[in-house]
């Protein structure tokens, strides 16, 4: 009898603790319906081919994406803000060594790690960004602090680190960001260096750079937010800053249109003002999110010579994952708890 009671209690606890999640194999891009809340993330776009990713690594990427998106989903489900969902989801990705952000950031030419991040609140067009920091553990938290506790939009380098310290954000020894995998990438790229400028655009750099992270979310109050965090590109130098901390290029959010986070070859995303361009096409030409994203990533960015992708959500909760590379680490979750995780083009 005792055993039966124990079994009943255990099965009750198991059901109660189980996540309200359904795994779906098709991306939910074809739903043109209003959602109460939804969340979408990326972990970088690039030459990500099935044959180059071991089953163990594929599983690791997928479980980490799932773990991250569930953090944001839980916040939204319980009535939290899209800004909180974006920040906390990105924290999980920044703390993982497998993505090019936070802990897993790529190395600069000098063998340091320099982080860029930004966040935007679609309800009031407030935004915050930080560039080139070396000791801030979670750069997205700094971006948010810049937005909420400073009169500025973007802070850089040592000034940004002083501000982070004043804000009580966690600072770490730069060695915290050392990972063997990223150091090997730098060594490989340097070994194949033909001349200083051309090397930055080498195929090898393109192949070893992906892993930037980003998130966009719609909360129950109809507020959109987006954020992006990255280590930039392997072998970058001269204090190079990419698109990730540039509002309008790497990140954009506007309750009237959409929330976007970009990943890819930053110089082209800056020239194309990719994230804002998608919002502008929606606002001024009344394109849908999917149409606008397709136009910008598959036509405009491609014609410029740029590679990469974006994730986005519109004000109705429709989601899009558009990229012109072989793959993009990505995941979505809507109000029903339907989870989609994808890596390759299919
Ligand atoms: N966009 C980032 C940069 O150019 C890199 C990336 O997304 O992989 O810094």
pLDDT at 193 over 90: no
Q: Check residues 189 and 152 and name the one with the higher pLDDT.
A: 152
pLDDT at 204 over 50: no
Examine the residue annotation and report whether 212 is marked as an active-site residue of this protein: yes
Whole-angstrom Cα distance, residue 339 to residue 23? 5
Q: Are 241 and 132 in contact (CB under 8 A)?
A: yes
Does residue 231 lie in a domain region? yes
Whole-angstrom Cα distance, residue 192 to residue 108? 15
pLDDT tens, position by position, 112-158: 999 999 999 999 999 999 999 999 999 999 999 999 999 999 999 99
Token reading at 219: 């909360």
Q: Is the CB of 326 under 6 A from ligand 1?
A: no
Does residue 5 lie in a domain region? no
Q: Which residue of 48, 265, 327 sits with most ligand 1 atoms within 8 Å of its CB, as the best mutation to test the pocket?
A: 265
Does residue 203 lie in a domain region? yes
pLDDT at 198 over 50: no
Whole-angstrom Cα distance, residue 257 to residue 10? 46
Token reading at 57: 């690594």
Does residue 150 lie in a domain region? yes
| Per-residue model confidence (pLDDT) at position 6 | 58
Please give the distance, rounded to the nearest whole angstrom, from the Cα atom of residue 67 to the centre of ligand 1.
23
pLDDT at 199 over 50: no
Does residue 6 lie in a domain region? no
pLDDT tens, position by position, 53-102: 899 999 999 999 999 999 999 999 999 999 999 999 999 999 999 999 99
Ligand 1, atom 9: closest residue by C-alpha: 232
Q: Check residues 324 and 210 and name the one with the higher pLDDT.
A: 324
| Per-residue model confidence (pLDDT) at position 33 | 56
Helices (H), ranges, the chain: 2-17, 55-77, 82-95, 139-149, 157-166, 180-191, 196-199, 203-208, 266-272, 274-285, 289-294, 302-304
CA atoms within 13 A on the CB side of 91: 15
Q: What is the CATH number of the domain that holds 31?
A: 3.60.20.30
Domain span holding position 252: 23-344
Token reading at 140: 């997205």
Q: Which of 212, 228, 263, 332 is catalytic?
A: 212
Does residue 2 lie in a domain region? no
pLDDT at 12 over 70: no
Determine what percent of the chain is predicted with pLDDT higher than 90.
Answer: 80
Q: How many domains does the chain have?
A: 1
Does residue 13 lie in a domain region? no
Q: What is the mean pLDDT of residues 182-199?
A: 76
Please give the distance, rounded to the nearest whole angstrom, from the Cα atom of residue 83 to the centre of ligand 1.
22
Q: Give 225's contacts (C-beta < 8 A, 6+ positions apart).
A: 81, 82, 83, 85, 86, 119, 120, 121, 122, 216, 217, 219, 253, 259
| Per-residue model confidence (pLDDT) at position 32 | 55
Q: How confident is the model at residue 167 (pLDDT cuts 50, 70, 90)?
A: very high
Write the CA distances from 184 to 152, 187, 330, integer angstroms: 37, 5, 25
When the pLDDT of each residue in the chain is averaged and rounded to a whole number, the result is 91
Write the CA distances from 165 to 137, 159, 161, 267, integer angstroms: 11, 10, 6, 30
Q: Check residues 52 and 161 and name the one with the higher pLDDT.
A: 161
Whole-angstrom Cα distance, residue 164 to residue 156? 11
pLDDT at 5 over 80: no
| Per-residue model confidence (pLDDT) at position 24 | 80
Whole-angstrom Cα distance, residue 185 to residue 107? 8
Pairing of strands 338-344, 22-23: parallel
Please give the distance, rounded to the nearest whole angstrom, from the Cα atom of residue 211 to the centre of ligand 1.
8
| Per-residue model confidence (pLDDT) at position 8 | 56
pLDDT tens, position by position, 308-321: 999 999 999 999 99
Does residue 9 lie in a domain region? no
């Amino acid at each position: 009898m005792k055993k039966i009671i124990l079994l009943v209690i255990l099965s009750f606890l198991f059901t109660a603790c189980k996540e309200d999640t359904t795994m779906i194999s098709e991306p939910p891009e074809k739903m043109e319906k209003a959602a109460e809340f939804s969340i979408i993330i990326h972990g970088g776009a690039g030459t990500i081919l099935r044959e180059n990713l071991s089953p163990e690594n594929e599983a690791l990427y997928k479980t980490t994406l799932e773990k991250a998106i569930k953090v944001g989903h839980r916040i939204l489900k319980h009535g939290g803000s899209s800004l909180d969902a974006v920040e906390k989801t990105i924290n999980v990705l920044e703390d993982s060594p497998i993505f090019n952000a936070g802990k897993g950031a790529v190395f600069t030419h000098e063998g340091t790690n320099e982080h860029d991040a930004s966040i935007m609140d679609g309800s009031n067009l407030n935004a915050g960004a930080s560039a080139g920091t070396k000791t801030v553990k979670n750069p997205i938290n700094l971006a948010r602090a810049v937005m909420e506790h400073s009169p500025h939009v973007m802070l850089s380098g040592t000034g940004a680190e002083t501000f982070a310290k004043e804000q009580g954000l966690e600072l770490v020894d730069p060695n915290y960001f050392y990972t063997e995998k990223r150091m090997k990438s730098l060594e490989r790229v340097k070994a194949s260096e033909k001349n200083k400028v051309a090397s930055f655009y080498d195929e090898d750099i393109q192949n070893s750079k992906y892993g930037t992270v980003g998130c966009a979310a719609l909360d129950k109050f109809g507020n959109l937010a987006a954020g992006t965090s990255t280590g930039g590109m392997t072998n970058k130098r001269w204090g190079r800053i990419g698109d990730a901390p540039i509002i309008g290029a790497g990140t954009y959010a506007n309750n009237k249109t959409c929330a976007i986070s970009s990943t890819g070859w930053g110089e082209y995303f800056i020239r194309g003002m990719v994230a804002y361009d998608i919002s502008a096409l929606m606002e001024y030409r009344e394109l849908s999110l999917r149409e606008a994203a397709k136009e910008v990533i598959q036509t405009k960015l491609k014609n410029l010579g740029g590679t990469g992708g974006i994730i986005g959500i519109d004000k109705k909760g429709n989601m899009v994952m558009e990229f012109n590379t072989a793959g993009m680490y990505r995941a979505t979750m809507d109000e029903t708890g339907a989870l989609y995780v994808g890596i390759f083009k299919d």
